[in-house]
Chains A and B, each alone.
Chain A
């Protein structure tokens, strides 16, 4: 899993504004969404991503997975994330 190189995006105190290839409108990631965005600057497995975010936020993998997996699915649909080759 990795951020698509085709994203058009900007970062600021508001979080990250992203226009993915299949996004009709820009989306904004904030809070833990920014941590996910930063973590996927380089290819990472879902398990590795979940473990990394759990460590960052001091919580368990299961809790993180519950929060993050739907977001990952949405971001894949929008073309913001893609499966790394």
Chain B
């Protein structure tokens, strides 16, 4: 067993806890501890650090142990409250005939980690079918929830959007998803594929449908690569955790994302997780590091990562991915000629919006 010197410790070492057996961690003191603790909280890695203290893999002062314990308790209190919310919203949607799948945090915590106390989460994520999307939004609005952002145009989200963040009257955030990403990779996903198979997560004694393990892994990859840039450390840990658990059928995963023209997303997620967390790479993952993307994949990924990423670029890069000329025309038209309220808030006029669109198209073509 090698003991890590405390002054070299960073949040990546925290993210490895419980994944790699041979690390011994000594927490730094004073300013170095303040910096690390701030990063651990920003990266939502408190449960992993708490688990490390509990298992004896982490050496900490009494004050540090206290801080970690209290923070962990706070995170877990929030998690059980969010699980109650998830149960209620699932039941509410089921009562009006809307089928849904519980995504991300709560599902990962119970199904993909040795114990749910290892994985915190901050909201409820529910996937619904495109045909049920508007009904699901209306059902939540009817009980006082409000959209966090306006729709580009009525009906846009149901046809082309990733989903919407709904804020309940109690402040809890419920994210309704229609597909797995904004932009081009959200368009190449066939949303019907997401309901083809299901897993189950038990919240209390209530079985709640979720994605099956392979789709859950694909979604973890999408979230890690297409969400925050640089990727959140806990999102990379999800990818590594799931692959290390042995339940993911990587051949099946690769065939799914091949159909979605999104192989680069899974390859990038695996390479990023293994590199960032400094994990030892088995031969079965060599393909991810040697992946050769198509031109579409390369162009699409550039809209999400790197210095030229932007929501606007994702919207523009998605155009070739929209299936069917009629749908493509409707998509472009919706983005250019938005709803009045949306336009007033974002661009203050059509001329300004057209100018911004033209500049985004030029940047998307010029930038790598």
Contact = CB atoms under 8 A, between A and B. Distances in A.
Interface secondary structure of A, over-half rule: strand
Interface stretch (B80-88, B139-147, B185-193): B80-88
Interface stretch (A4-12, A35-43, A47-55, A65-73): A4-12
A2 interface: no
B293 interface: no
Contacts, number: 54
Interface residues of A, number: 17
B281 interface: no
B117 A12 contact: yes
A14 B73 contact: yes
A28 interface: yes
Contacts of B77: 17, 26, 28
A8 B80 contact: yes
Contacts of A81: none
Interface in B107-129: 115-117
Interface residues of B, number: 23
A19 interface: yes
Contact of A8 (B72, B115, B204): B204
B84 A13 contact: no
Interface string B15-26: 000000000000
B31 interface: no
Interface in B169-220: 203-206
Interface of B: 50, 53-54, 65, 68-70, 72-73, 76-77, 79-81, 83-84, 115-117, 203-206
16 contacts: A6-B206, A8-B84, A8-B204, A10-B76, A12-B54, A12-B69, A12-B117, A13-B53, A13-B72, A14-B72, A14-B76, A15-B73, A17-B73, A19-B83, A26-B81, A28-B77
